[in-house]
Structure 1
């Protein structure tokens, strides 16, 4: 069954370009040029991935992303914007975006990112064993993708869960940002390691009950290490 991609873009020429290239690759495509309409379609149509422009009539992409994450809709989101400012990228990722691409862009690059995100989500969903990892106040069920802190369920996006799983499976080892980009995002971000830092920050907010003794430690100038609380 082909994956369903929702393209939320109010510039018709860009929406047509994206849709054409997605359909050429065998994807089913839904479109919307209005933020409020897009939000309702996301809720009812349940796409497998969303390509979400930031500047939209009705409701902007930031608010759409924030609302669907608040509603625990964990569909992967690629933020799309003409703005290449660092602050815009960070905000999009902090609100729950999995990736961020700026206009103008290569259709080939966009398709590669779509495929990479879908591939990573599928790998997480196909975890065959009922493996539960428990340490201190944190419990991760790798088959149901459920995470609990102090017995309370914590909602993670697919990318956050995959990042957490990778860090836990390499517990005690220092992993570089470049390695995380390669292993968790599955393609070259052209050195844009800021996306790793933003996702780590979001993970810490959700799973670290004691910031003074965090599970995810920063190794300055190198990367990160997962260490269970003492």
Structure 2
């Protein structure tokens, strides 16, 4: 895997360079916000690790310009700005994930791997699998989700969440991606609101044989109950 690390803190980017290189990944470091876009285009990384507070140009400006220019590389924001509002700004600018500083290196590795696995989905909305899981299936004509032929009574947000999970049964879908699909364009909604929808949907799936699991640092997945 090839990474572009845009981070100006010498101690942090030295530590990350050493740790990520040990994983067998190729890491290019950029310390100047003004040079970040050029390095991004030239290196064609698999994942970008982007700090927000940079000399020359702010990370959010870099990200917004990259998306406007058609650069679709998954981006993990690394920043000390950890408020819900800052997360929403980053996600709206085009980030795929958000990790506040200080962070654990194992969690960083897990999130980078998750972004890399999801890369083929960056340019297309998640579409439910036609095969379903535990007798749960999606009818693309009506937009309804059925369990053993019976329509599941779901709110629009629960329906959007379950549709996304049915797209990759047995595989994690990031919390950030689910937030975008369940609360599209609703910047006033707190990021943690997705947890409420997950909780309600989980209760409604208890009788179906499907299990909605939480994977810390990776997101949620739908699987057959044991």
Pick the TM interval, shorter chain.
0.5 to 0.7
The answer to whether the aligner puts 1:198 opposite 2:180 as a matched pair is: yes
Aligned ranges for residues 154-173 of structure 1 at < 5 Å?
Answer: 158-159=121-122, 161=124, 164-167=125-128, 170=138, 171=140, 172=143, 173=145
Q: Tell me what 2:71 maps to.
A: 73
Q: Please say if residues 80 and 102 of structure 1, whose CA atoms lie closer than 8 Å, have aligned partners that are also in contact.
A: yes
Moved more, 60-69 or 195-204: 195-204
Give the superposition deviation at 1:14.
0.9
C-alpha distance in structure 2 between counterparts of 1:11 and 1:96, whole Å: 23
Instruction: Note the residue ranges of structure 2 that are not aligned, 5 or more in a row.
Output: 131-137, 146-158, 187-195, 202-226
Work out whether 1:22 is the aligned partner of 2:20.
Answer: yes
Distance 1:181 1:104 in 2: 33
Q: Is the 8 A contact 2:4 2:28 kept in 1?
A: yes
Shift of the 21–177 alpha-carbon distance from structure 1 to 2, 3 Å rule, reads farther
Question: What's the counterpart of residue 110 of structure 2?
Answer: 112
Query: Deviations for 1:47-98, whole angstroms, at most 9, x for unmatched residues?
Result: 1110000000011110010001000010010011101110100010001000
Superposition misfits of 4+ residues, deviation over 6 angstroms: none
TM-score, length-normalised on structure 2?
Answer: 0.63
Native 8 Å contact 2:127 2:164 kept in 1: no
Task: Please give the alpha-carbon distance, in whole angstroms, between the structure 2 residues aligned to 1:181 and 1:54.
Answer: 34
Matched residue, 2:61? 63
Q: Which residue of 1 aligns with 2:43?
A: 45
Return the alpha-carbon distance in structure 2 between the equivalents of residues 181 and 24 of structure 1.
35
Secondary structure of 1:166 counterpart: coil
Question: Cα–Cα, structure 1 residues 88 and 178, in superposed 2: closer, same or farther, change >3 Å?
Answer: farther
Q: TM-score, normalised by structure 1?
A: 0.62
How many residues are paired up?
166
2:127–2:167 Cα contact (<8 Å) kept: no
The whole-number CA distance in structure 2 between the counterparts of 1:45 and 1:39 is: 10
Q: How does 1:172-187 map to 2 (within 5 A)?
A: 172=143, 173=145, 174-176=159-161, 180=165, 183=168, 187=172
Q: Deviations over 1:191-227 (max 9, x none)?
A: xx565333555589xxxxxxxxxxxxxxx9557xxxx
